[in-house]
Each structure stands twice: as C-alpha cells, then as structure tokens.
Structure 1
Amino acid sequence: MTGPSSESQYVTFSLDNEVFAVPVSVVREILDHEDAFRIPHGPDYLLGLRDVRGQGVPVIDLRLRLGMTKTQKTHNTRALVLDVPIDGKILTLGLVADRVYEVVPFRNDEIEGAPDIGVRWPSDYISGVVRRNGAFVVIVDLARLFSSSEVAMMGTANRLAATA
C-alpha cells in the first residue's frame, strides 16, 4: 500500500514550451526520431509506422493530437516507445516529443487534479499536474488520450506491420 507521500517515477518531455510527463513504467525505450512509413487515410496525428526491434509501431505526433502545431524535427526530437495498457490490452506506440528531459520522482501528494480551464488542450487527457521549478508539469493519461476506435485502428496498423 502506498501512502500520500510515496513517490512515482515519470519521464518528462516537452512539446513546444510545455512540459509533460508519463509514468516510467510504460516507457519501453527512447529513440532518435526518424520518419515513419506513412499509413494511407490515417488521422493527421498518426505519422505512420516505425520499425522498433522488428516490431511495427504506430508513431503519434502528440502535438497534433493535443491540437497544437505539427512537430518540427530538430536534433532534440525523440520518440518515446510506450507500452500503454488500454481496455485489458497493451498498445505499443511511439510518441514524438520535442525533447526528452529526465526521469523524475513526483510525490503522490504533490500531484494536483487536472484543471478545467486555462489550458490549450482538453483536460480529459490530463491525469494531474505537478508544480516544478516555478512551472507546471502535465501528467498525460495515455489510456484516455485515444478513443476506442483510434485504439482499434492503431492496433490494426500494428498487426498489419507484423504480418508484412
């Protein structure tokens, strides 16, 4: 059992000037960003498939998914390869970030609930916020980031890549 002062580990990364975090437990690896194999008729935020150690992994431009401008690739751009538990299954996907910073512990009692106003993206995708170094770190709720039809589409893309 964890108490209110127990800690959880998060990987922090940036999109534009905003800092986000995901639980370290879902991060498989962090790779340099490479162009993905484009999937026809996919949503704009689905950049395509990328080979990750023999597995076709759908790659998401999180900036586009959150209603921001498209990621502009730089030497700092990275792809976080994540294994996200959704609806009793594991969805493996790559999330493009402008920059990945570090693994940091957040005390559970430091994590505030998602704000209802004052952010540029829908707060449904926020599991909490943490104040850090005079700014906020937004913790992304990966399971709520995609609808069930989007999850099914990415799972199908994943399976198609495995058979190709």
Structure 2
Amino acid sequence: MTIEGITETGRYLAFMLHGEVYALDIMQVREVLDYTEITTVPRMPDFMRGVINLRGGVVPVVDLRLKFGMPATEKGVNTCIIIMETDIDGERALIGALADSVREVLDLEPDQVEPAPRIGTRLKTEFIKGMGKKNEEFIIILDIDRVFSADELSGVQETGLQAEG
C-alpha cells in the first residue's frame, strides 16, 4: 500500500535524531551547515533554540528532538543545522533544524513509502508524510510544513524580523 499522490521516485535528505532515521523532501532543503553558535532568544518555546546569522539574514533554529518529545540535541562532532524552506501562513520562510547527523540523499520509489501509522488519538502523526523503507530500515518522512503550527512559526518569524530590524 503506497501513499496516494506519490507516483514518482522521491528524493529525500536522510538525517538522524536520537538514533532514528528521518527524512525531508530534498526540494525543501536549502543547505546543510556545520553546527554554529546559536543566539538564544528570550520567551520562545523550548524547542526554539534561537537564531543564527546566515549570510546577513536571521534564520530561526529549532530542535526537532525537543519538538518530538526527545532529549535535547547535544553538540557532537556530526551535529549540523539543516536549512529548509517551509510555509508560514502562505509565505515561504527559511528555518534551521538541528540534526544529530546527516546520512545521505536517497531515492525512494512509491512502493517503498507507506502511509503514516494510525496510532489512536494520543500520538499526533499528521506531520509524518509517510514511512519509507530501504534495506530493511524504516525512515520517517516528515512533512515539515505540518511539523509546527502556524502560531508557533509566526512567532518564530516575528523574532527573525525583529532581529533583522
């Protein structure tokens, strides 16, 4: 059983979070940066680690581990920031996400992607686009536009705009 609408091979950036493999549509990934110091912004949600300067622009950085209820990302030799483009109230915006490491760019055929599991109402899976499977390993494919609520990201976007001004 494949996901409706996925009829072509998809390219994804696979990365690690707390021992699990996650992936993002490569078309939403702008670049991968080595870990850099993050400037903390007061009164942001816990998962918001702060902002970084990206070629003169302010980019908010989130900790997906915290957003997903895992322990905070610790800086390690492979820790990186994935710069991605997401939709905030109909506008495209850049956001950085901490990752333990980046694994690879991979191609998944439509028959290698299944719908996100339905696990009752307690676990929210609306931000999971699907579950990929490659070499007997599961890959959680994120729909980054649905990971954060519009309210969460509009607060993040305002912080970036205030820091630029």
Same fold (TM over 0.5): yes
| Separation in structure 2 between the aligned mates of residue 91 and residue 50 of structure 1, nearest angstrom | 14
Q: How much has 1:64 moved relative to structure 2? A: 0.2
Choose which of 88, 91, 96 in structure 1 pairs with 2:90. Answer: 88
Instruction: Tell me what 2:10 maps to.
Output: 8
Q: 1:14 to 1:121 in 2, by over 3 A?
A: farther
**Structure 2: tracts of 5 or more residues without a match:** none
With 83-92 and 30-39 compared, the bigger mean Cα shift is at: 83-92
Q: How much has 1:32 moved relative to structure 2? A: 0.7
Choose which of 99, 122, 125 in structure 1 pairs with 2:124. Answer: 122
Q: How much has 1:17 moved relative to structure 2? A: 1.0
Checking the alignment, whether the CA contact within 8 Å between 1:66 and 1:122 is kept in structure 2 is no
Q: How much has 1:15 moved relative to structure 2? A: 0.3
| Separation in structure 2 between the aligned mates of residue 155 and residue 114 of structure 1, nearest angstrom | 29
Per the normalisation by structure 2, the TM-score is 0.90
Choose which of 139, 150, 154 in structure 2 pairs with 1:152. Answer: 154
Checking the alignment, whether the CA contact within 8 Å between 1:91 and 1:151 is kept in structure 2 is no
With 74-83 and 106-115 compared, the bigger mean Cα shift is at: 106-115
Q: How much has 1:91 moved relative to structure 2? A: 2.0
Q: How much has 1:121 moved relative to structure 2? A: 6.0
Q: How much has 1:133 moved relative to structure 2? A: 1.9
Q: How much has 1:5 moved relative to structure 2? A: 5.3
- Secondary structure of the residue aligned to 2:15 is strand
Instruction: Tell me what 1:37 maps to.
Output: 39
| Separation in structure 2 between the aligned mates of residue 161 and residue 4 of structure 1, nearest angstrom | 39
Q: Deviations over 1:57-77 (max 9, x none)?
A: 000000000111111110100
Q: Which amino acid aligns with 1:70?
A: A
With 80-89 and 94-103 compared, the bigger mean Cα shift is at: 80-89
How many residue pairs were aligned? Answer: 160
Structure 1 residues 25-104: aligned runs within 5 Å: 25-104=27-106
| Separation in structure 2 between the aligned mates of residue 51 and residue 28 of structure 1, nearest angstrom | 15
Instruction: Tell me what 1:111 maps to.
Output: 113
Q: Which amino acid aligns with 1:109?
A: D
Checking the alignment, whether the CA contact within 8 Å between 1:67 and 1:121 is kept in structure 2 is no
| Separation in structure 2 between the aligned mates of residue 60 and residue 153 of structure 1, nearest angstrom | 12
